[in-house]
Amino acid sequence: MKKMESLSPNARNVTVCPFCKELIPKGAMVCSHCHSMVKIPPHKKKRPFVLNNFMLGVYAATIFWLYIIFTFFRK
């Protein structure tokens, strides 16, 4: 098995760290040589509070009860 130093940067499973210029595995998030973050994990977007599942349930329940009130208690 070849050492990482003997592989070229064009090899299949390695890439070059942008900070220390050492060869690291292609999917690495942290460089094993300089311990810097190579790839920042994607930030998951949060839904606004008025559009989260709980509030959508509150809106549906409110519409349901307004429908019941106006349908059955109207004179």
Please tell me the predicted confidence (pLDDT) of residue 62: 97
**C-alpha span between 75 and 65 (Å, rounded):** 17
What are the tokens at 72? 């059955």
Q: Closest by alpha carbon to 26, among 7, 8, 6, 12?
A: 12
Q: Model pTM?
A: 0.41
Per-run averaged pLDDT (10 residues), the chain, 75 residues: 52 84 87 85 78 91 95 81
Please tell me the predicted confidence (pLDDT) of residue 2: 45
